[in-house]
Every structure is written in C-alpha cells, then in structure tokens.
Amino acid sequence: MTRVEADDLIAFTTAVFRAHRLPEADARASAEALCHGDTTGTSSHGVANLTRIYLPLLRSGRANPDAKPERLVDRGPTLLVDGDRALGLWLAGAAMDLATIRAADYGVGVVSVRNATHFGCAGHHALRAVERGMIGLVLANCGHQRIAPAPVGGPELLGTNPLAVAAPAGRRPPFLLDMSTTTAPTGKVRAAARAGERIPSGWLAGPAGPETDPAALDAGTARLTWLGAPGPAEHKGFGLGLAVEVLAALLPGAGLGPLSTGTEDDDVGFFVMALAPDTLRDGFTEDSEALFSAVAGAGAQYPGEPESLRTRQSHADGVWIADPVFHELRAVADECGIRPPTAL
C-alpha cells in the first residue's frame, strides 16, 4: 500500500481529467467524486476505476468531455435533463445542485437525467444536499449494461442499480446510505479478485449454491445476487433493483437493461431528488441529531458514521492506495505528461 495526501490525489485526478479535455470545474468536480471512494475507505469505487471505467469512457468517445447538458423540460420542481454523455462523476453533482435550488423554493426538487454515464459513488452526490441542510436521494441504473439476472436465473437483466439517501444530523456525521441493490457491487467483487481474496457467502450464486470465488463472476460461472441473498427475501432486492430502473431510467427515457442489446453502460439514467425540511417545519436538524444520537447510543453504527470518520482521517493522515493501483496512476501520469501523486 502507498500513502498519499488526499488533496494531492484530488489535484492529480483533476489534472488527469483536464488532460482528457474536461473544463477545469468539471474536472475538479469529477476528481472529488472519484476520490470520495478512496477517502471514505470504499476503494473499490475510487481511483482504481480511473483506468477501468472513466479513461476508457473518455478515450472511446462514449463520454463527452465538452458535454453541455440540456434541460429538455422544466416544470419548476421537476426537470428532465439530457446529459449529453457527460461524465456522471460531475453531472450527478450538478443535477443535485439544481435539485436543491428548486427544493429551496418548492420543498422538493427532482432532476430526471438520461444520456448520462457512470457517476461513481451515489453517496457523494447525495451529500451535496446535506451541505444545504436538505435530504438527498440519488438513484441510477446502468444504462444498457446488464449485470445481474433475476433471482430465478436466466439472462442478465439489470445493472447493480445503486441508491443513496443522505440527511443532515446536526453535529453528528450525516446519515448516508449508499448501496447497490445487488448484495455487493461488481467493483467489490472485482477488487477481491484482484487481491486474490475469497468473498463472503451470498455475494455470488453458482449452480450449486453460494460461490465465494470472486473470479467466478467474470468467468460466467456464477451470478451476482440481489440484496436478501442467500436468505429468504432476495425477491425484495430484485424488486428494489427494478424500482431503481423505473425511477432512474424509465422516467427520463434512458437506456433500459432488459430492453438492451448492447453491453456497455451507455445512456445511463439518474433520479436525483432534494427535499428541504426547513420549508415544511422547524427543528428538523435538532430532531435528526437526537435521532442519530439515539441510534448510535444503542450501540449501532449508522450508515455514514464510519465513512465520515474515515474521511476525516484521510484528510489528516493521507489515503492508502493499493500498490498495483498506484503503479497504474504513475502510468497515467506519464501518458498525460503530469506529475503523479507523491508517495508519503
């Protein structure tokens, strides 16, 4: 493992996106979104995906560095946006910023996005609402990419269809649920495969039952399961995945996994919503702080608490990068003619 400063990693990633012709603000926002994975300890969704997802998207032309998203419909609290194949890393945050502006007036703001690309950690974008004292919801499908079949098996139908819900909690770390509706995201399965580790029973299902070899996913000998597996309620996780497909992709008219004949995650759809509690009542933040204090006081960490602690540590002490990923970053730096992050 190699340790680097969080700000150095973000500056490096910004420079990589600049070198791929993104404007400064979009490059910076994309870098912050991508490094959210590393600073929160979700390294499966961090800079490891630079060479796996985002640079291939830009180099192949599937993502548009000069994207100018267009507001196709504007009904006040609800907008339909064509993402113009922008990097989802910055587009989703911009959508949330717009949703919060409308929510400040109307109580709710919904930005329904089509023609987008992969946005990294859903939670990063949901947290932008929390900065404005609001509740944020972010859902995405995986466009034309189909990764997981129904619990009964059969052809792949949907992506991992993530969802995030964030809420302010006063002086406590914000509540932040950020999850794939599959039991585990593909990024974590592949990170385990790269590390040569077994995965927990339940992430993958093979013909004979739970499969703990992560390589079985890309070998095609096991399927990604839905939340609930291997328990009695996997149909609920599949239903949640379908609900995300409806809200994030069917609503805006984005690519739909079950109707796709392609294999790439193009024409991704987002559902981005902000709710402004202060437009409805006083005391929301105080009540939220009390709520999450009570949950924490009962001995239960709540989603967002460990990630918040880890983020603080990352900014104070640096971020740990797996050595193979650090080597990749150095190669990217050479290609872009920029300096790599400094190993501490």
Q: Footprint of a copy of itself on residues 263-322 (CB under 8 A)? A: 275, 277, 279-281, 283-284, 287-288, 290-291, 294-295, 298-300, 302-303
At residue 73, what are phi and psi to the nearest 5 degrees?
-140, 135
Residue type for position 64 = N
Beta-bridge partner residues of 138: 164, 272
Nearer to a copy of itself, 17 or 226 (CB): 226
Site for a copy of itself, residues 125 to 164, rule: CB under 8 A: 135, 149-155, 157
Q: Considering CB under 8 A, how many residues would be counted as binding a copy of itself?
A: 76
Q: Are 84 and 228 in contact (CB under 8 A)?
A: no
Of residues 8-27, which lie at the interface with a copy of itself (CB under 8 A)? Answer: none
Instruction: Indicate the residue among 60 and 261 with the shorter CB distance to a copy of itself.
Output: 261
What is the closest distance, in whole angstroms, from the C-beta atom of residue 216 to a copy of itself in the complex?
A: 16
Name the helix (H) or strand (E) containing 157: strand 153-158
Nearer to a copy of itself by Cβ, of 28 and 114: the residue is 114
- Can you tell me which of 143, 228, 318, 340 binds a copy of itself, judged by CB under 8 A? 228
| In the complex, least distance from residue 9 CB atom to a copy of itself, rounded to whole angstroms | 27
Element (H, E) at 288: helix 284-297
Which residues are CB-neighbours of 277 under 8 A, at least 6 positions away? 133, 134, 135, 284, 285
Whether the CB-CB separation of 254 and 143 falls below 8 Å is answered with yes
Alpha helical stretches, state H, the chain: 6-19, 24-39, 55-59, 88-106, 122-130, 186-195, 215-219, 234-244, 284-297, 305-317, 323-336
Provide, rounded to whole angstroms, the least separation between the CB of residue 176 and a copy of itself: 9
CB 230 within 8 A of CB 248: no
Residue nearer to a copy of itself on the CB measure, 201 or 221: 201
Give least dist CB 318 to a copy of itself, A.
27
* 252/340 with CB nearer a copy of itself: 252
Examine residue 76 and tell whether it contacts a copy of itself (CB under 8 A): yes
Could you tell me the smallest distance in angstroms from the CB atom of residue 316 to a copy of itself? 26
Q: In terms of Cα–Cα distance, which of 5, 86, 14, 87 is closest to 38? A: 5
Contacts of 72 (CB under 8 A, 6+ apart): 80, 81, 82
Q: Which stretch binds a copy of itself (CB under 8 A): 1-9, 51-59, 73-81, 215-223?
A: 73-81
Would you say 23 or 239 has its CB closer to a copy of itself? Answer: 239
* Minimum separation from the CB atom of position 22 to a copy of itself (A): 28
Within residues 244-263, the interface with a copy of itself by CB under 8 A covers 245-247, 250-253, 256, 258-259
The yes or no reply on residue 240 touching a copy of itself (CB under 8 A) is yes
Q: Which two tokens stand for residue 199?
A: 């995965």
Q: Is 206 in the site for a copy of itself (CB under 8 A)?
A: no
Q: Which is nearer to a copy of itself, 200 or 324 (CB)?
A: 200
Q: Which is nearer to a copy of itself, 11 or 72 (CB)?
A: 72
Closer CB to a copy of itself, 12 or 175, in the complex? 175
CB-CB contact of 194 with 324 (8 Å)? yes
Q: Name 140's bridge partners.
A: 270
Minimal distance in Å, beta carbon 109 to a copy of itself? 9
Of 286, 295, 344, 290, give the one whose Cα is nearest residue 316.
Answer: 344
Site mask for a copy of itself (CB under 8 A), range 93-132, x = bound: ------------xxxx-x-x--------------------
Q: Are residues 104 and 82 in contact, defined by beta-carbon separation less than 8 angstroms?
A: no
Q: Which residues of 156-192 are buried (b: 16+ CB within 10 A; e: fewer)?
A: bbbbbbbbbbbbbbbebbbbbbbbbbbbbbbbbbbbb
